[in-house]
Amino acid sequence: MATDSTQVLSNPGLLAHKGGYKAMALVALITILSLGLLANDMRWIYLLVYVWFGVAYGVFLQYGRFCMASAIRDLFAIKVPRMAVGVMIATALFSITAGLVTVSGYSTFHPHPLGWHIITGGLIFGFGMIFTGGCASGSLYKTGEGNMGSMLVLLSISFSMALFADLGSWSNSLAPASWAESALDKGMPESLTVTDGWFDLFTAGYVWNLSGGSVADMIGTGNVWIDVFVGNVLLTAILPSLLILVILYMSTYRKGYIRRNKLESLSFGDEMSGIWAMITSSKNTAIAGLGLGIFAGLQMWATGALREHYEIFNFGELLMKMGYSEGLSIQETVFDPGYWYITTQEAQLGGWVMNLFGRDVTDNIFFGLQNGIPNPLINAPLLMSAGIIVGAAILSLSRREFKWKVPNVETAVFAIVGGALMGIGARLGMGCNVGAFFAAVTNGDLTGWIFLAGMLIGGLLGVKAFNAWLNRKSADDEFDI
Amino acid sequence: MAIKFDKVSDGQYQLDVCGYVCPHPQMYTKKALQKLQSSDELTLIFDNPSSGESIIAMCETEGDEIFERAEGNGSTTWKIRKG
C-alpha cells in the first residue's frame, strides 16, 4: 500500500529543469525589488517584513498543501483527517510562539467582539469554500501554483467584501431600527454616514456594542506568564487542539490503523501509537503547520519591534512621515494587523478598484474610518498576500508542480459564487480561516473556535450540497459506467 | 474538458479528471471506487497535486492499494486496486 507521498513531492534538483531557474529568478526579482526599496528609504522595511513573511507562508502553504477547505471538506466528504490534523498541529504550535510574543510585549493581536455574527460568518464562509475548492489562504497558494480558478476566487472574495461593506441606502431597512439609534449615539463624523448602509449599521450599531477579550485577560492573576501560557496557550489552543486530534483519530483514522496493523484489542500504548501514526502520516502538513506556527509568531514580534523602533502604532503614521497620505483612513491609519491575515486587505483591493472607477467607498466605516484604501503597491498586508502567491509559485516551480490551469465554466461559476459567499462570510465574521480562526484561537480569543464551529456547519452543508450536485450530474451522463 | 469514467475491460476501469481541481478529483475518485468490486483496478489520471495527497490518505483509510504511479505530460497516472 502506498503510505507516503515522496513520489508526488520528489524534487529532481533545483537547476535540473526550467522551473528551478524560474523559481530562482523569482527569488532574485523580489530580492532586487526589496533592496531597491530599502535604498530609497529604509523605512520600507516595515512593508518588506509583510512581504517576506508572506513569501515564507506561501512556501509552507504549498509544501503542506495547507488548506482549511481541504481540512473540512476531506473530513466530511472522504473521511480523510490529514489536513485537519495539520491545522490542529499548527494551532498548538502557533499558540506557543504567539504566547512568547505576547509575554514579550510585542503582540499586535486584538481579540474580536463576541456575537452571533461570528458563527453566522463562519457558516457562510465554510459553505462557500467547499465550492471554491480552497479557503482564503488555500486560494492564495493555489493561485501561486498557476490555478486561474483560484485567482478568480480571490477576485470574487475581494469585490464581494468591498461591495458588502459599501451596501447602499436600499439595505438600511434590512437592519433593526435599534442599530440606527445606536450607531447615531457613537458620534461619528458626518462624512462616514454611519446610518446609511447595512454594513455601517451592523458595525456601529451592533458590533461596537459587543465586547471581547482573551482568556489571559479573564484569568488575570497578575502574572503575565501564567495568564498567557495557561489561559491563551494551554486552555484556548493546546487542549482543544489535542481533544480534536483525539476525536479525529477515533472517528476516522483508528479503524484503518487497526486493520493495517492487524490489531485485535488496543492497549493505551497502541492508541497513543495510533495517534502518533496519524500525525506522522501527514508529515508534510505537520511540517507546514510547524513552520507556519513559528513564522506567524515571528511576524508579530518583528512588526511589534518595528512599531516600537519607529514609535508608531500603525503603518499609516509611517506612510504619512514618508509622504504618502493618499488612501489613508480619516484617522490617518491603514489596515495593519501585524500578523498573518488574509481578507481585509483583499477587500481594500476591491475598494481601491471601485474608487478608481468613481465609486466613493470612503463614506463607509470599514474603509473610511478603519482600514483606508491605500494604493495596492504600498498596501503592506496586501503585499503579504502577494508574497504568499510568489512563495507558493517559487516552491511549486522548483518542485515541477506549477501549471497554468484555466477553469471550465462549472469551476468558474463555483469560484465566483463560492468566493462571493466567502467574502460575505469573512466580513460578517470579521475574518477568514486565518484571521477569524487561526490567529484568534492561538492568541487566547475563544471567538476563533466559534468561527470554526460555524465553518464546520457550513462545510457539512456545503459537502451535502456539492454531493447533490455531483449526483445530479452523474445521473445526467458523465459518471455512468 | 469533461470527467471521463470508462470500463476498459473486466475489472479494469479508468477515470480521467484532468483539468479539475479540488474538490472534484478526490470526490470523483471516491465515487468511482465505490462502483468497483474488491480487487478491481482503477487507472486514475489527474493533474491537481493537492488532490493526490487526499487520495493517498483516502486509499490508506479504505484499504485500497495504489500499486503503480507515473508522471508525464503534466499529469499523474495512478493505478489503484480496490481493497
How far are the Cα atoms of A229, A250, B51 from residue B30, in angstroms, in the given order?
43, 21, 12
Does the distance separating the beta carbons of B60 and A78 come in below 8 Å? no
- In the prediction, which pLDDT does A5 show? 41
Residues of chain B with C-beta less than 8 angstroms from the C-beta of A78? 26-27, 30, 54, 58
pLDDT band of B1, cuts 50, 70, 90: low
User: What SS3 class is residue B47?
Assistant: coil
- Are A78 and B22 in contact (CB < 8 Å)? no
**d(C-alpha A313, C-alpha A108), whole Å:** 9
3-class state of residue B65 by DSSP: strand
- Number of A–B residue contacts, CB under 8 Å: 127
Is the model's pLDDT at A43 over the cut of 80?
yes
Residue A1 pLDDT class (50, 70, 90 cuts): very low
Residue B6: list chain A partners with CB under 8 A.
481
Average confidence (pLDDT) over A267-290: 88
pLDDT at A255 over 50: yes
- Cis peptide upstream of residue A113 (ω within 30 degrees of 0): no
Determine the residue among A3, A8, A67 to mutate to test chain B binding: the one whose Cβ has the most chain B Cβ atoms within 10 Å: A8
B57 touches chain A (CB under 8 A): yes
- Secondary structure (H, E, C), chain A: CCCCCHHHHCCCCHHHCHHHHHHHHHHHHHHHHHHHHHHHCHHHHHHHHHHHHHHHHHHHHHHHCCCHHHHHHHHHHHCCCHHHHHHHHHHHHHHHHHHHHHHHCCCCCCCCCCCHHHHHHHHHHHHHHHHHCCCHHHHHHHHHCCEHHHHHHHHHHHHHHHHHHCCCHHHHHHCCHHHHHHHHHCCCCHHHCCCCCHHHHHHHHCHHHCCCCCHHHHHCCCCHHHHHHHHHHHHHHHHHHHHHHHHHHHHHHHHHHHHHCCCCCCCHHHHHHHHHHHHHHCHHHHHHHHHHHHHHHHHHHHHHHHHHHHCCCCHHHHHHHCCCCCCCCCCCCCCCCCCCCCHHHHHHHHHHHHHHCCCCCCCCHHHHHHHCCCCHHHCHHHHHHHHHHHHHHHHHHHCCCCCCECCCHHHHHHHHHHHHHHHHHHHHHCCCHHHHHHHHHCCCCCHHHHHHHHHHHHHHHHHHHHHHHHHHHHHHCCCCC
Chain A residues in contact with B10 by the CB 8 A cut-off are none
Q: B40 at the A interface (CB within 8 A)?
A: no
In this predicted structure, the answer to whether residue A254 has a pLDDT above a threshold of 50 is: yes
From chain A, the residues in CB contact with B48 under 8 A are: 405
Task: Decide if B9 touches A, using CB distance below 8 A.
Answer: no
Per DSSP, B11 falls in state T
CB A411 within 8 A of CB A149: yes
- Which pLDDT band, with edges at 50, 70 and 90, does A12 fall under? low
Amino acid at A319: L
Closest CB to B54: pick one of A7, A78, A252. Answer: A78
Among B29, B33, B9, B30, CA closest to B17: B29
Secondary structure tally for chain B: helices H, strands E:
2, 5
Quote the mean pLDDT of chain A. Answer: 92
Whether A18 shows a pLDDT value over 80: the answer reads: yes
Neighboring chain B residues of A150 at a CB cutoff of 8 Å = 21
Cα(A378)–Cα(A250) distance, integer angstroms: 48
Q: Which residues in chain A touch residue B4, judged by CB atoms under 8 angstroms apart?
A: 478
The strand pair at B12-16 and B41-46 is best described as: parallel
Mind telling me how many Å the CA of A223 is from chain B's nearest CA?
44
**What distance in Å separates the CA atoms of residue A193 and residue A180, rounded to the nearest whole number?**
11
Q: Do B27 and A77 touch (CB under 8 A)?
A: yes
Work out the average pLDDT over A390-418. 93
Q: Which of B56, B68, B82 to mutate to test the interface with A (most CBs of A within 10 A)?
A: B56
Q: Chain A 172-231, CB below 8 Å of chain B: which residues? A: none
Task: For Cα atoms A403, B32, A413, give the angle at the middle one, nearest 5 degrees.
Answer: 50
- The model carries a pTM of 0.91
If phi > 0 it is left, if psi is from -120 to 50 it is alpha, else beta; for residue A197 that is left
More confident residue, A153 or A408: A153
Please say whether the beta carbons of A33 and A104 come within 8 A.
Answer: no
Three-state DSSP at B52 gives helix
| B4-28 pLDDT tens trace | 899 999 999 999 998 888 888 999 9
> Nearest residue of B to residue A396 by CA position?
B49
Chain B residues touching residue A474 (CB < 8 angstroms): 31
pLDDT single digits (tens) A104-156: 998 889 999 999 999 999 999 999 999 998 999 999 999 999 999 999 999 99
Q: pLDDT by residue (tens digit) across B19-76?
A: 888 888 999 999 999 999 999 999 999 988 888 988 998 998 888 999 999 987 778 9
Kindly identify which residue of chain A lies nearest to residue B82, measuring between CA atoms.
A1
Q: Please state, as a whole number, how many other Cβ atoms lie within 10 Å of the Cβ of residue B10.
A: 6
Residue of A nearest to B5 (CA): A479
Task: Return the axis-axis angle of helices A409-429 and A343-356, rounded to nearest 10°.
Answer: 110
What are φ and ψ of residue B12, in 5° steps? -120, 120
**Other Cβ atoms closer than 10 A to A35:** 11
Task: Give mean pLDDT, residues A81-90.
Answer: 89
Per-residue 3-state assignment (H helix, E strand, C coil) for A387-427? HHHHHHHHHHHHCCCCCCECCCHHHHHHHHHHHHHHHHHHH
Q: What's the CA gap between B48 and A403, in Å, rounded?
A: 9
Vertex A68 angle, CA A67 and A74, to 5°? 90
ipTM: 0.85
Residue A386 backbone dihedrals phi, psi, to 5 degrees: -60, -40
pLDDT at A260: 86
Nearest-CA residue of chain B relative to A83?
B54
